[in-house]
């Protein structure tokens, strides 16, 4: 592997027959050595622009990481600046966490979804969460506290992409969960936890609703008059429109069997809790919740 130490004559590199058509990956550039490399890249670009050479030019790739390189962007005809921004997405971490989370199958999707929604793009944080106990994934504040301390983050840490505390498009930045925690920005962190829960639990509620309607629907009395609802909605005349709230709130009019009401009531309550845009406390009673959602209650 060739080693280059600036200053290197840029024109000399371009005229060397053994240097054409290469990709030169520059490793370990520090803020102290960056000015020399910056000058080399500028001189190399200038020489390439003014040299008529038949051999294909070599390309320098210089990864820069950290807030010290915030103003490192160069502008020249032969220089391109690419930000590794908004490249890793939540769904990437969801697929990864589904393979790595060690838990019973009925919990795995919820835990993996929580890992992905909290970590957003950060694989290092995802690994920390995956290695934690299920209750510490569902309530990740302890993991986030430890992660922030490891990184040296505090309330005074800036929210910048260069420092690794922000990702996403500049118009819609996403702040790292560990920084949200140390800055006491609980609202955004709770929104992510809620989104992780609702993406998994709400479809499960829908599945149980469909089973109740399928099992007890032949005994329901339709059409169902909804005139006592605000707005006087049209009556329900088909089973496809029957919801949990109808089975619970219109059990007399619907002539719903007591077994249907008994199964629908806790599901209806859970659905209403999810509708409040606040995460549920699943650290203590998730066993009962999932027993209900799996249809085994």
Q: How far is Cα 59 from Cα 25, in angstroms, rounded to an integer?
A: 8
Give me the residue spans of the domains in the chain: 10-69, 90-184, 197-293
Q: How far is Cα 87 from Cα 99, in angstroms, rounded to an integer?
A: 21
Q: How far is Cα 215 from Cα 236, in angstroms, rounded to an integer?
A: 18
Please report how many Cα atoms fall inside a 13 Å half-sphere around the Cα of residue 155, on the Cβ side: 3
H or E stretch covering 14: helix 10-15
* Beta partners for residue 174, in sequence order: 167
79 φ, ψ (degrees, to nearest 5): -120, 130
Closest CA to 291 of 139, 106, 103: 106
Q: How far is Cα 268 from Cα 281, in angstroms, rounded to an integer?
A: 17
**By the 8 A CB rule, do 137 and 108 touch?**
no
Q: Collect all residues with Cβ–Cβ distance below 8 Å to 137 and sequence separation of at least 6.
A: 101, 111, 114, 115, 129, 130, 143
Task: Give the 3-state secondary structure of residue 182.
Answer: helix
pLDDT at 1: 46
Which two three-digit tokens encode residue 283?
Answer: 């650290």
**By the 8 A CB rule, do 97 and 130 touch?**
yes
Q: Say if residue 223 is preceded by a cis peptide, omega within 30 of 0.
A: yes
Which two three-digit tokens encode residue 59?
Answer: 């390309």
Q: How far is Cα 118 from Cα 97, in angstroms, rounded to an integer?
A: 12
pLDDT in tens, the chain (297 residues): 455 555 556 667 777 777 778 898 999 899 888 888 888 888 888 888 777 666 677 889 999 888 777 666 777 778 888 888 899 999 999 999 999 998 887 789 999 999 999 999 999 999 999 999 999 999 999 999 999 999 999 999 999 998 899 999 889 999 999 999 999 999 999 999 999 999 999 999 999 999 999 999 999 999 998 877 766 678 888 999 999 999 999 999 999 999 999 999 999 999 999 999 999 988 776 667 777 777 655
Q: How far is Cα 183 from Cα 181, in angstroms, rounded to an integer?
A: 5
Q: Collect all residues with Cβ–Cβ distance below 8 Å to 214 and sequence separation of at least 6.
A: none
Give the angle subtended at the CA of 287 by the CAs of 278 and 207, to the nearest 5°.
70
- The residue to which tokens 């130490």 are assigned: 5
H or E stretch covering 61: strand 59-61
String of b and e for 65-79 (b: at least 16 CB within 10 Å)?
Answer: eeeebeebeeeeeeb
Q: How far is Cα 116 from Cα 161, in angstroms, rounded to an integer?
A: 19
């Amino acid at each position: 592997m060739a080693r280059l130490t600036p200053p290197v004559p840029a024109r000399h590199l371009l005229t060397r027959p053994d240097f054409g058509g290469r990709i030169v990956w520059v490793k370990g550039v520090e803020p102290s050595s960056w000015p020399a490399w910056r000058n080399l890249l500028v001189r190399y670009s200038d020489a390439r622009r003014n040299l008529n050479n038949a051999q294909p030019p070599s390309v320098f790739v210089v990864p820069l990481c950290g807030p010290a390189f915030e103003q490192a962007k160069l502008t020249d005809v032969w220089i391109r600046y690419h930000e590794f921004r908004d490249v890793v997405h939540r769904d990437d971490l969801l697929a990864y966490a589904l393979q790595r989370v060690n838990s019973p199958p009925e919990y795995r999707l919820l835990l993996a979804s929580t890992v992905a929604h909290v970590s957003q793009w950060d694989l290092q944080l995802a690994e920390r969460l995956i290695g934690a106990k299920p209750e510490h994934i569902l309530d990740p504040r302890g993991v986030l506290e430890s992660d922030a301390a490891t990184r040296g983050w505090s309330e005074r840490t800036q929210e910048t992409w260069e420092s690794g505390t922000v990702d996403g498009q500049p118009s819609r930045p996403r702040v790292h969960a560990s920084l949200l925690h140390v800055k006491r920005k609980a609202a955004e962190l709770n929104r992510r936890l809620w989104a992780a829960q609702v993406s998994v639990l709400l479809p499960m509620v829908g599945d149980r609703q469909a089973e109740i309607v399928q099992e007890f629907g032949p005994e329901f009395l339709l059409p169902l008059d909804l005139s006592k609802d605000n707005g006087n909605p049209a009556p329900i005349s088909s089973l496809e429109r029957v919801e949990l709230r109808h089975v619970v709130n219109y059990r007399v009019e619907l002539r719903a069997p007591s077994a249907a009401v008994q199964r629908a009531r806790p599901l209806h309550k859970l659905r209403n809790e999810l509708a409040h845009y606040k995460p549920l406390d699943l650290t203590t009673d998730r066993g009962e919740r999932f027993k209900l959602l799996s249809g085994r209650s």
